[in-house]
Structure 1
Amino acid sequence: MDTTIQAPLILSFETSGETGGVALYRERLLGEIVLSGAETYSRRLLPAVDFLLEHLGLSLSEVSVLAVSIGPGSFTGLRIGLATVKGLALALKKPVVAVESLAALAALFRESSCPLCPVFDARRGEVYAALYRFKDQDLETLMPPSVLSPDVLCERIESPTIFLGEGLRVYGSFFQEKLGPKFIPAPGHLREARASSVAYLAERKVKAGEFADPETLVPLYLRPSEAERKKGLKNV
């Protein structure tokens, strides 16, 4: 009798920014579809999942775990990703793992000895950012996900640091001028969010038994949405 225990098949979703997608992962990346552009994720996520499963000869019933990037990032994108995963979790009765968006970005540079600074444009002259470093193959948080001005972020950079994320499109030149040799931009192919990186961190959470309750899981916004802010102003 074959008593081999197969590793979990993880279906992951990344929708925190303009670039995201879906991936299937079982100890290694089996397949990934990268989605980018202005078209809403609500029209593209499930067709991408169907395409990926079909071309890998797999079915949704074989998926063991659903993983989702929870933010910070685009409010609309995060809501779509989370709603999709919650719906699938309910229909398939599968467990869910939540992964912070900035941590998933940093995980693209697991072999780096430098600090890692993933950055998203948070609008209104601010950025979502965090600082990490890999230590003994584990991602160590030096500064938790925060919303702050680019100037304040630069004040917290003490040594040569790898910057990555969509925030470089807006603030890359500013960081270069402000930080000089301490600013190391990630190469273009490793600068954007990836569902495969979400799956990589999710696999570690599965092994540690760190699952999320899909009924109570909410996005990590860090600040109120524009609609919530306007509503608050009306109530003042």
Structure 2
Amino acid sequence: MKALAIDTSLTRITICAKNDDNTAYLTLDIGMRQSEKLLPSIEYVLSQVDLKTSDLDYTVLCKGPGSFTGLRLSFSALKAIELSHGTPLYGVGTLEAYSYAYSSLPFPVICAVDAKKNRFYVRINKGTENIIEDGDYEIDAIAEKIAGLESSEFFVCGSDAELFIERIKKDIPSFNKKLFCLKGKPNETENLFAIAEDMIAKKIPALKDFEGPVYIRASEAEEHLTSKASS
């Protein structure tokens, strides 16, 4: 199949295009310059596998949780392709995309992304079973949930796996479960292709026009308005 995958849910942009068996990747960790680089980067990556946007069978993105600005960027770019060419757009939860490659492990998998303010976006799976739903949790609450699970060993993945393990060990000295992770930051966009094509095979619908990013936590502006209204 011919497809384009984008992950802008965190601080970096990752774009992957595939033309059947040929793939091209580009990752940009460039902070506030994401908006000016996204569209030319999409064109560049597509050109590396001899594709144009009109050739695509589908597009897929990480739909959140993640950066408000980053998620809006990828939704805007891929919805524009959808409107121009009728290309189906699929959305995959960020934590699902990051943990997909480890679903065959024999012990629970924790996917962790730093949500700042002493919190993490987390989900816990064992195989295809979702043990803890995607959520925005304080580190103490996550440790308590893990402590209540039967398994003594947990594999941790996600963009902030090492930080997650470090924080639990530092903040909760009594924590006695074994947590381990891989070093480095894998490229998750190829996981998006696999998940999207499974959705296509199962006839799961593409995103509707009205469907947008998943924001587990309210934005600071929304928090400010809520606080102002209640005072």
- Give the TM-score category using the shorter length: 0.7 to 0.9
CA distance in 2, matches of 1:100, 1:167: 16
TM-score (normalised: structure 2): 0.86
Alignment of 1:1-236 (within 5 A): 8-25=1-18, 30-134=23-127, 139-157=128-146, 158=149, 159=151, 160-168=153-161, 170-177=163-170, 178=172, 179=175, 182-190=178-186, 194-236=188-230
Q: Could you say what secondary structure the match of 1:156 adopts?
A: helix
CA distance in 2, matches of 1:202, 1:38: 28
Tell me, which stretches of 5 or more residues in structure 1 are unaligned? 1-7
Bigger shift: 195-204 or 63-72? Answer: 195-204
Q: Could you say what secondary structure the match of 1:131 adopts?
A: strand
CA distance in 2, matches of 1:29, 1:145: 33
Aligned residues: 223
CA distance in 2, matches of 1:102, 1:10: 21
Q: Which structure's relative contact order is higher, taking Cα pairs within 8 Å and 6+ residues apart?
A: 1
Letter in 2 for 1:196: E
Cα distance, 1:164 vs structure 2: 1.9
Relative to structure 1, the CA distance from residue 26 to residue 203 in structure 2 (aligned partners, 3 Å threshold; closer, same or farther) is: farther
Cα distance, 1:213 vs structure 2: 3.5
CA distance in 2, matches of 1:110, 1:10: 23
Letter in 1 for 2:179: F
CA distance in 2, matches of 1:172, 1:56: 38
Letter in 1 for 2:94: S
Relative to structure 1, the CA distance from residue 181 to residue 25 in structure 2 (aligned partners, 3 Å threshold; closer, same or farther) is: farther
Tell me, which stretches of 5 or more residues in structure 2 are unaligned? none
Partner of residue 3, structure 1: none
Cα distance, 1:24 vs structure 2: 2.0
Relative to structure 1, the CA distance from residue 26 to residue 140 in structure 2 (aligned partners, 3 Å threshold; closer, same or farther) is: farther
CA RMSD, 1 decimal: 2.1
Q: Could you say what secondary structure the match of 2:216 adopts?
A: coil
Task: Tell me, yes or no, if the aligned pair for 2:72 and 2:213 is still in contact at 8 Å.
Answer: yes
TM-score (normalised: structure 1): 0.85
